[in-house]
Structure 1
């Protein structure tokens, strides 16, 4: 077997165990009791209950005023002007509650306060920017839930279910850092062997421990182990492992170079003494040693201890101070740190007041102390339990402000996962394999439909070529063909990419550890989201495509293939948590695109300027920039946010010629300009659903009026989603029956798909949207798409026409059809609707 195939076989073997550990990491992160996310979820639930829409709570503020005037147009019956007396983001209000005077005077609550889409900088607070909720109703919702008790119960449940997982992850972190330290020659091979021994006795350097081995507890009597507690709270900042020969290994889980070996304790003390004289290093130690950075007496105490070590008269004096602060660990090291992490989290949870305590605090005037504990969620949102897993803020590249605000929730989860995977990658010795795809294979988070699939009843496809059309490669693939093991029948190229030949065509494949089989995948991205195309090789070496078992099909559509889809079986079902997770990942991906742009950042307490229409922006001389980043890391663009608000009805102008405001043309021009300045991206599949009731019908495809090869053009601001769970909300009508609201597909239901890399004008806007869960990408009017494939897709609860598109340049001398309606495109009618030849010419230049 060639060296490339040997490496690939070893990679697959390691990933068999590694993927199980990745699932452990993902489960730990998903269940981690983050109080800010819990408060945000409660805020979102209240918004959905009260207004019937999934509005992002980060765009909702509670404003409190000293005056009010009646208004027949507003939901509450009152309106306000001028700066509010008090403003609180809705998520934080879930924990803080309304001020004491309003607890009994609920009628005044509706008069002197309200919920709005704009912050305190707005000039007016009325029907134009209100969220239609009565504060008195929201107050009832607050008292109906006991946030502190819910959070404490979540912490208790987390440790009951994830205590073993915490210890496993702590062991992975130590193994990974140990491997890195050996490569960097910060410790000897003997020290590395001793450290591996406290994880799993006699574990070899290249040996992969099983999950069962990692879950077991082991004594650390072979090494003298100490924890160094620098503050009043029992919380260790770092640890040491001493051997009988006198050498000492320093372990700082939170540091970039977590493990460092020394000839003696004195040598370690000298190193620490020198390191702590550097201001940045001092700050890193201080951050790692504090349970609550907001508790000033503790901050002062820890700083004094660290400063004392740095300013010691001699190395011996520094060592004496360290001896005074060390605590011996006689039991299993990982049991010890898990117990300390649990105590830390429970102590933080105890700082939250339950409803009874909150009422008492309000009556006693002690509420301000409670709010200081909760403000920013700093002591709760990133406790030492994560630092002990190698996920300290500094190591993740996150500032404290970024880490504790909701706007960075996806970023910090992603960074936490990346840090843990980095250590797992090193612990598995996958660096030696060297393929670029190796880390991607480990980090890959298998989509919902892949983890839930069962191939037991799948059958060999009778005609695979139409199903796989466009997925083959015309390139000649060089590489030796494997003849045994799970690589049998697979050709491996020099980069480690895998290929098979089936029916005379060559396809790229990847191995799914979740399904224990090979999958045909896109040529340019083996991890792209999409339907599963599993294949298997028979005894004769021939590959066959597997498809789901045939179902009773609805009436066939003439001239169109009819197919079932395991992909849409899953994504047309209701899976709220999975959909939210998908949308959160999409928003995180879209925010990363913005990080590469030169976007203005507001300073702390700095308010945006306004243009002549009162739209928030950043002013540069006589020019305006509508995209900016607030001090807390939140991205803002008022033009885009207004577009996503259903009340704006911006597309009514482009579709029907309805102009609610006299400045609508100016608004669309400004919106188009600001969108064109944002990054475009085509790395993911996009979907768009429609049905007759929404003005987007599939009947012209079903009837054969539009066919493969025809060209469509979008004439409005066309919204697509990268979350396939969202499609059914747009491709089906909603009906209320005995079981509640259900999605009903009919002959007009249609789903458009834009495969990754087959479009180039999509602009992701999730970071600015009121409805972030839609994972939206927007196309300005005037883009052309060719119909590549038409299929009639059906399942037990759905049926629709799927239209696969690719973006093309404007065709010359051939008809084009409106993507939304299927009607022939009429430029003159478009000009009439928008009432501006210049605006029409912007999107459809006159030829």
Structure 2
């Protein structure tokens, strides 16, 4: 079908079902920040503070404190800059330090909850939130947010994985049609990319068609930069080397690159400026984003120097085939990326227990190390 020809609309029942599926998936999808905000809000309600947004409540740490009869905690921090700050929402995710567990009584002395951010200089009864650090710490143990969130994530993918895949396929087709209508994809490009992942399209598109899996071809590859593989991008390689990249969620979801040099330059443009790089990095796992950020100067130097030499080995060096249904791959890689984010970001009760025991064992080794030097038989009289 040419882009100028009208496309028959899907039947009303399919359209209504698809809309219901989309609403269900969107509402059920447990974003890490959203769930943490929900739990933090519930915690505030439990402590009689229902009117404040946990994104605008800060837990600050200080190096010193002054006693005060006016504050909730009995301490204030005047003409002071916090040594460390985080929002209550972020604190739900990352938890208090392992060392705080045995020194919870000091959380009110050297820390506190405030509505004023880290740029303020006075922290007292004028901006405090009436929470005791020790009470919040105990609540975190009871909540065990890491387990709660992981359970929600597991349930979501179990219950909604198939629907997520259907929506991913629907979104691809919508974006492809829009790109063709805007002439960002030619008619030939449109036919090429849709044929690879969907096979022939019969208009109007039915819900059954969107739900069906289609075996992909060897033209469908991953996108990678210096070996870091994007988790939610598709790359289509035409027989003569022309490449089309699909980036779901981007304003211009399809990018057409005529040559390997064009691909390299496009990557450089996405990586060179911080704002563009942050948007591009959303297509990679949190682990890879952190590694790229830590090594960005060296990576950019390599990308620039190799581009100047027409050396493109850093771009798509893995060149992995996406085997099977492309939208099933998008679903599975997105699921893996969400669990990766959770594993890196969250601190569970079990993690804290391990850190506490490591601390106890380290302290024990310091006590017993002199005895280890002389050996247990000789050491026994020392403690006897």
Secondary structure at the aligned position of 2:236 is classed as: strand
Distance 1:359 1:181 in 2: 52
Equivalent in the alignment of 1:93: 91
Cα pair 1:48 1:55 within 8 Å, conserved: no
Is 1:291 the equivalent of 2:266?
A: no
CA deviation vs aligned residue, 1:569-596 (integer Å, no higher than 9, x gap): xxxxxxxxxxxxxxxxxxxxxxxxxxxx
Give the drift of 1:141: 0.5
Instruction: Tell me how far 1:198 sits from its aligned partner.
Output: 4.6
**Displacement, 1:74?**
4.1
1:153-302 matched pairs, under 5 angstroms:
153-198=151-196, 200-204=198-202, 207-221=203-217, 224-235=219-230, 238-242=233-237, 246=240, 248-254=242-248, 255-260=250-255, 267-276=258-267, 279=269, 282-283=272-273, 284=276, 287=281, 290-292=284-286, 293-295=289-291, 296=293, 299=296
Alignment of 1:564-575 (within 5 A): none
Q: CA deviation at 1:152?
A: 1.8
Mapped contact 2:232–2:333 kept (Cα < 8 A): no
Structure 1 CA distance for aligned equivalents of residues 171 and 163 of structure 2: 12
Instruction: Give per-residue Cα distances to partners, 1:432-458, cap 9 Å, x unaligned.
Output: xxxxxxxxxxxxxxxxxxxxxxxxxxx
Task: State the SS of the aligned residue for 1:353.
Answer: coil
The aligned counterpart of 2:367 is: none
CA distance in 2, matches of 1:323, 1:52: 51
Write out per-residue CA displacement over residues 65-101 of structure 1, whole angstroms, 9 at most, x where no aligned residue. Answer: 4234252x54444555342554432222223434455
The SS at the match of 2:156 is: helix
Contact 2:168 2:327 in 1 (8 A): yes
Structure 1 length-normalised TM: 0.36
2:101 corresponds to 1:103:
yes
Aligned to 1:136: 134
Distance apart, 1:160 and its partner CA: 1.3
8 Å CA contact retained: 1:276, 1:309: no
Q: Does 1:328 align with 2:321?
A: yes
The correspondence of residues 96-495 of structure 1 with structure 2, limited to 5 A, is 96-120=94-118, 121=120, 123-126=122-125, 128-198=126-196, 200-204=198-202, 207-221=203-217, 224-235=219-230, 238-242=233-237, 246=240, 248-254=242-248, 255-260=250-255, 267-276=258-267, 279=269, 282-283=272-273, 284=276, 287=281, 290-292=284-286, 293-295=289-291, 296=293, 299=296, 303=300, 306-307=303-304, 310-313=307-310, 318=312, 324-351=317-344, 352-361=346-355
Structure with greater strand percent: 1
Q: Which runs of 5+ in 2 are unaligned?
A: 1-5, 360-384
Q: Which runs of 5+ in 1 are unaligned?
A: 1-6, 366-847
Alpha-carbon distance, 1:47 to partner: 0.9
Q: Distance between the aligned counterparts of 1:340 and 1:14, measured in 2?
A: 31
Superposition deviation, residue 224 in structure 1: 2.5
- Report the CA distance shift for 1:196/1:111 in structure 2 as closer, same or farther (over 3 A): closer
Q: Relative to structure 1, is the Cα distance of residues 297 and 30 closer, same or farther in structure 2, using a 3 angstrom cutoff?
A: same
Aligned to 2:371: none
Contact 1:282 1:306 in 2 (8 A): no
Q: Distance in 1 between matches of 2:30 and 2:59?
A: 25
**Given the superposition, is the C-alpha separation of residues 81 and 238 from structure 1 closer, same or farther in structure 2, using an over 3 Å criterion?**
closer
Deviation at 1:217, TM superposition (A): 0.8
Change (3 A) 1:75 1:239: closer
Q: 1:337 to 1:280 in 2, by over 3 A?
A: closer
TM (norm. structure 2) is 0.73
- In 1: Cα distance, 2:265 partner to 2:123 partner: 58
Match of 2:26 among 25, 29, 33: 29
Q: CA deviation at 1:302?
A: 5.6
> For 1:276 and 1:150, how far apart are their aligned partners in 2?
38
Shift of residue 35 of structure 1? 1.6
* Cα gap change, 1:161 to 1:306, in 2 (>3 Å): farther
Q: Which has the higher helix share?
A: 2
Change (3 A) 1:256 1:308: farther
| Counterpart-to-counterpart distance in 2, 1:180 and 1:239 | 17
Structure index of larger Rg: 1
Structure with more contact order per residue of length (Cα contacts < 8 Å, sep ≥ 6): 2
Change (3 A) 1:173 1:361: same
Distance 2:116 2:236 in 1: 55
Counterpart-to-counterpart distance in 1, 2:271 and 2:296? 16
User: Do the aligned partners of 1:229 and 1:326 also contact (CA within 8 Å) in 2?
Assistant: yes
User: Equivalent residue of 1:51, what SS?
Assistant: coil
Alignment size in residue pairs:
341
Q: Go from structure 1 to structure 2 and tell me whether the alpha carbon gap of 1:321 and 1:137 turns closer, same or farther (over 3 Å shift).
A: closer
In structure 1, C-alpha distance between the alignment counterparts of 2:24 and 2:295, rounded to whole Å: 33
